[in-house]
Structure 1
Amino acid sequence: MLELAPNPISQGDVELTHVTFLNRQALYLRPDPARVVVRPFKPATEPRDLHPKEKTRANHIVDRVLGLDPEAAASQLIDVLENFDGRHRNLLRTFEFRCDEMEEAFDPHPPFSRIQRQLIGAYFLHEYSFEAAALFNPSIVPHPDQSGAGEGEKRFVLSLRSVGEGHISSLTFRSGTVTAQGIVTVDPTVRLASVPKVVARSPVPDGEAVELAFSPEEDISERLIFPITASQSNGIEDARFVEFHDGPRKTYYATYTAYSGSAIRSELIETTDFQTFRMGPMRGSAARNKGMALFPRKINGRYAMIGRQDNENLYLIYSDDLFSWDGGVAILRPRFPWEFVQIGNCGSPIELDEGWLLLTHGVGPVRKYSIGAVLLDKDDPSKVLARSSEPLVRPEPSEREGYVPNVVYTCGAMRHGDYLVLPYAVSDTFSAFATIRIDALLREMRG
């Protein structure tokens, strides 16, 4: 049985705003500090680069555990389980695995009993509340499993940026459904949370690629991808997922910003089922920036991206290799007052009969972020056919307060019939939803 958390989602009737084609839904995803994972606790650093004094500290902990008589050690382990076992899956196995990870840091010692091994592992772990501070910058794609969807409905996967202690960003997920009438619901969140097993690591140009796997028994809302490589160590930020079609093959890709604490770069994540993932760095001059978004199919036989390279304008970039991106041509520059500071993309372009619909963000006076739209030519996306002169979504009075005030932002929308389903973040704090009639939006755009 899955254990459901008190759901940090509020939902009500659809509300209309002053923009007639935009329906803001009274559905909100708010950060929940009760959702935690266990992370390695490092008295100093990882075993392979411990200094002698730091190594001694780890062994002081081991010596104290070994100094407990068997009854006291068993009693202490029972006390730990009573406090933490219901909060995590397979906790004893996690303790044993952590003890094995720390073995290189330990001085030679007699063989640990199983209880000693489990208890020692517990001393080198801590709980981390991965969305205690924020749950924002969502993207949305069709769910790979549409079983259970009713007539006219579509199931979806939502990815979100979660932020916890130390302002570290990780990647979390939700699932939900949109009806034929454009009403969005999000499935209840499982209280437990888990990080994946690292299946493989391999050197690649400019870094390291990793393969990850979650257990099939884990609900999608339970799955958390925490920073794994050195380039991601301070955050996996703003994943822009897209359902990519290459003939009959369908793959989900997402570009994201990897932040090491001193440098950023764009990286790519790949999955077919949201259970197993592969992550690796992209290279080239265009990949040194934030906010790249992949088109959902090749254009004239080549991969295509929208990205920002100069902190102001949007570029169209082509490549024959998903991981190598150079050059590009500027296709969009700030034009209207609400975007005079800069523009950027808000996710992957969406294919319509009329062209490629690209959501953008614009930054205006007092660093106010709003969301707009652009229509690009289907055969030659460097040609701009139309764009919105006014924002589709702007911070409303009830949506302007938060960690970063006056910001609405999204990392991707999804088409469903006549509607655009738009999840968006509010002030870098929580996430909300709107739907947009596509025909009405196109009528409002100008050349």
Structure 2
Amino acid sequence: MTNGDAGLVRLPILIEPDPARVILRPFLSALDPRDLHRSDLLRATRLIDRILEMNVAAVEAELATTLRDFGARHADIAITFAERYAQIRDLLGLEDDPVEARRLLIGAFFSNEYSFQSIALFNPSIVSHPDQAGLEAGELRFVMSLRATGEGHISSVCFCSGVVTGAGAIRLDPPGRFAMTPRRSTAARLADAYDVTFPPSTELGERVIFPITQQQRNGIEDARLVRFVEDNGRATYFATYTAYSGREIAPEMLRTDDFRRFSFIPLRGDAVSNKGMALFPRRIGGRYAMLARSDGETLQIVRSDDLHVWNDATEILAAAQPWEFVQIGNCGSPIELPEGWLVITHGVGPMRRYCIGAALLDLNDPSRMIARLREPMLTAIKGERDGYVPNVVYSCGSMVHAGQLILPYAASDTATRFAVMPVAALLDAMG
């Protein structure tokens, strides 16, 4: 807003990528062992042979060195080594080694550290936390997802939490000592549905959802969280995201009640064709509703009786101002207000500059636009313009608390910041 940013305040909070945050990953050249090339299997067999030739004392010494150098960087590293050994044993058809130290050492040789946020920590999405106990009056605890990008430009989903006060101040919780990936509960292959679970002992900030399926192998990108409330009042959490195989993208969805157990299900239908799908936080007229985009130049709405099948999109917004001529899209799920559905948008203009705007849709018929900003409410300023992708501000989800829009946003695809703005001022600026 040349006057659209009236009342918007940037908070002095910066969440930067930390290359010291590492997870344990299988050390193999394929995401799924079943996809290994024959030469990889032969090399793995030769490596096993060399370890088997070591005497027990040498094995124990090498394992002790490995545990000394890496044990303090990971929770339950020996358990991970044992699990990794079991995978390799089954893959190569090995007989169980009677020496535990050798089993663990084999697991260590087929593991490696991965710095999952060494490049960027960005594109945040925010929702209210399922646990609101122990807060002061006017406070709200939140969960925030972040897109973490590491070596090879592989993206994963990680989380943080914090509290926002009635005045719009934000306190972030520490991230936790370790970072770890979940255990897979259901076999995953290609685009099949699957479940993952984190141990109860893990903190939210320690949980990292790393690509598992072939469709995801190059990234789980831009999760858009939403707290969804059914007609019976039951609340659960969904996130739409982009699964990237390295060649193709596919919108997918995850579901959780507690941010410890997650179910992943692909989406289907002719409206499932592009990035940036965002679920409405409740049914409208008895049906699910989703924001979508098929061409990059229009924002659409799709309705469905089946949460996983989406057809027949209807256009609701098109690029109207120069700052959004190149591309328009949403910045997360719509937010329900008495005045209508608040949709935070993004637009791309000259020099591929990304800006953030907003629109208001009718509560009962969200295919009808009531108002929108003519000018962006957020544009990259000095200190935000330089990064992995310059001149970009972007968000995957915001929320309203105590009359304030709480807007976490990414700066130049590198780090994450916060802005707050009175909802009344935002609505007043719409024409």
Q: 1:46 to 1:151 in 2, by over 3 A?
A: closer
Distance, in Å, in 2 between the alignment partners of 1:202 and 1:162 is: 22
Residue 439 (structure 1) aligned with residue 429 (structure 2): no
In structure 2, how many angstroms separate the alpha carbons of the residues matched to 1:31 and 1:61? Answer: 35
Q: Tell me, yes or no, if structure 1 residue 149 matches structure 2 residue 135.
A: yes
Measured at CA, do residues 52 and 328 of structure 1 come closer, stay the same or move farther in structure 2, by a change above 3 Å?
closer
Unmatched 5+ stretches in structure 1:
1-16
| Alignment partner of 1:242 is 2:234 | no
Structure 2 CA distance for partners of 1:142 and 1:73, relative to 1, 3 Å: same
Q: Give per-residue Cα distances to partners, 1:61-90, cap 9 Å, x unaligned.
A: 111111111111111110000000000011
Q: Secondary structure at the match of 2:192?
A: strand
Match of 2:156 in 1: 170
Equivalent residues in 2 for 1:30-429 (5 A)?
A: 30-42=16-28, 46-106=32-92, 108-109=94-95, 111-201=97-187, 207-246=191-230, 247-429=232-414
Contact kept? 1:59, 1:107, Cα under 8 Å: no
In the TM superposition, what is the alpha-carbon distance from 1:112 to its structure 2 partner? 3.6
Partner AA of 2:127 in structure 1: V
Q: Distance in 2 between matches of 1:343 and 1:43?
A: 37
In the alignment, the residues of structure 2 paired with residue 159 and residue 432 of structure 1 have an alpha-carbon distance, to the nearest angstrom, of 13
> Which one is further off, 58-67 or 155-164?
58-67
Moved more, 43-52 or 327-336: 43-52
User: Quick one: which amino acid aligns to residue 126 of structure 1?
Assistant: N
What displacement does 1:107 show? 5.7
Q: Per the alignment, in what secondary structure is the counterpart of residue 374 of structure 2?
A: coil
The whole-number CA distance in structure 1 between the counterparts of 2:203 and 2:61 is 33
**Matched-pair identity in %:** 50
- Indicate the SS of the match to 2:364: coil
- Distance, in Å, in 1 between the alignment partners of 2:154 and 2:264 is 18
Give secondary structure in 1 for the equivalent of 2:41. helix
CA RMSD of aligned residues (A): 1.6
One-letter amino acid of the structure 1 residue matched with residue 219 of structure 2: G
**Distance verdict in 2 for CA 1:317–1:18, change over 3 Å:** closer
Q: With structure 1 as the length reference, what TM-score do the two structures score?
A: 0.93
Shift of 1:108: 4.6
Residues of 2 paired with 1:244 and 1:44: CA distance?
A: 36
CA displacement at 1:55 relative to structure 2: 2.2
Counterpart of 1:58 in 2: which secondary structure?
helix
Letter matched to residue 369 of structure 1:
Y
Q: Which ranges of 4 or more aligned residues in structure 1 deviate by more than 6 Å?
A: none
Deviations, residues 260-285 of structure 1 (Å, cap 9, x unaligned) = 11110110000010000001100111
- Which whole-Å CA distance do the structure 2 matches of 1:330 and 1:48 have between them? 43
Indicate the SS of the match to 1:156: strand
* Structure 2: tracts of 5 or more residues without a match: none
- Partners of 1:140 and 1:157 within 8 A in 2: yes
- Cα displacement string for residues 275-334 of structure 1 (whole angstroms, at most 9, x for unaligned residues): 000011001111121100000000000000111111110001101111001111111011
Is the 2:342–2:360 Cα contact (8 Å) retained in structure 1?
Answer: yes
TM norm structure 2: 0.96
Change (3 A) 1:144 1:108: closer
Higher relative contact order (CA 8 A, sep 6+): 2
SS at 1:436 equivalent: strand
> Aligned partners of 1:45 and 1:439: how far apart in 2?
49
1:399 is paired with a residue whose SS is coil
- Alpha-carbon deviation of 1:215? 0.9
